Amino acid sequence: MQTESIAYDVRGSSYLGYLARPDQGNENGAGVLIAGEGGGLGPQVKERAQRLAELGYVAFALDYIGEGKVLPDVATMMARLALLRADLGHVRALGRAGLAQLVAQPGVDASRVAAIGYCFGGQLVLELARDGAELACTVVFHAMLSAPDLEGAKKIRGKVVACIGAEDPLVPSEQRQAFEEEMRAGGVDWQLHVYGGAKHGFANPNADASGIPAVAYNRTAHERSWRTMLASFGETIG
């Protein structure tokens, strides 16, 4: 496996993503864009990229905090995410820039690219899909599913899979229902997987350290959702 940090600019600001690719001869020609949790490009995000590289994918974890920083605490993270949520145009630009870095990599077939996202990163890749990006598959884990309207889904080109915890108060049943209505309105090939007993952050082994009651790691849901993602890749990017 080969890994490296890649610097790039978005609207005049500096970002530092993380690339993991298989050793030469082990690539399958497909790429995966990764948007991690709001804390930044921490070890768990890089580990996901490495796991995907071991499976033959070229994986690029984009940076939406800036300069590859890992934020020091929850308060700082929430303040940063509030700014991002207030400007979805900028969020989409961040996604587009990360996608451009991925498809520019040697051996990546631009027609065989998926995007995955966790927490706010899930919202980011959903917005990227809603913006009409060429994504064969978009998979999100414990992500906010809300959309400002139903029109964005009409631009989605590929399949969408949402993996949500049944006990996640940040993504309640009303939000899941609104997501279903949006996907139907857009004619999207979509799936919604709801994992019993799982809270927000169920796919992050470090979730319990946040100290937030709504956030907790759930190993069973984590493993099931990872398998769901891989099955979706098998249907779309191989």
Encode pLDDT of 153-162 as tens digits. Answer: 999 999 999 9
Alpha-carbon distances, residue 176 vs 36, 44, 93 (angstroms): 21, 26, 25
Instruction: Check residue 25 and give its pLDDT.
Output: 83
3-state percent helix, strand, coil for the chain, nearest multiple of 5: 40, 25, 40
Q: What is the mean pLDDT of the chain?
A: 95
Residue type at position 232: S
Instruction: Check residue 146 and give its pLDDT.
Output: 86
For 2-236, which CATH class? alpha beta
CA 176/CA 182 separation, integer angstroms: 10
pLDDT above 80 (res 205) = yes
Task: Please report how many Cα atoms fall inside a 13 Å half-sphere around the Cα of residue 178, on the Cβ side.
Answer: 13
Which 8-state DSSP code applies to residue 155? Answer: G
pLDDT above 80 (res 68) = yes
Rounded to two decimals, what is the model's pTM? 0.96
For 131-175, write each residue's pLDDT tens digit: 999 999 999 999 999 887 778 899 999 999 999 999 999 999 999
- Mean pLDDT over 57-76 rounds to 95
Straight-line distance from the first to the last Cα atom of the chain, in angstroms, rounded to the nearest whole number: 19
Which 8-state DSSP code applies to residue 136? Answer: S
CA 9/CA 163 separation, integer angstroms: 31
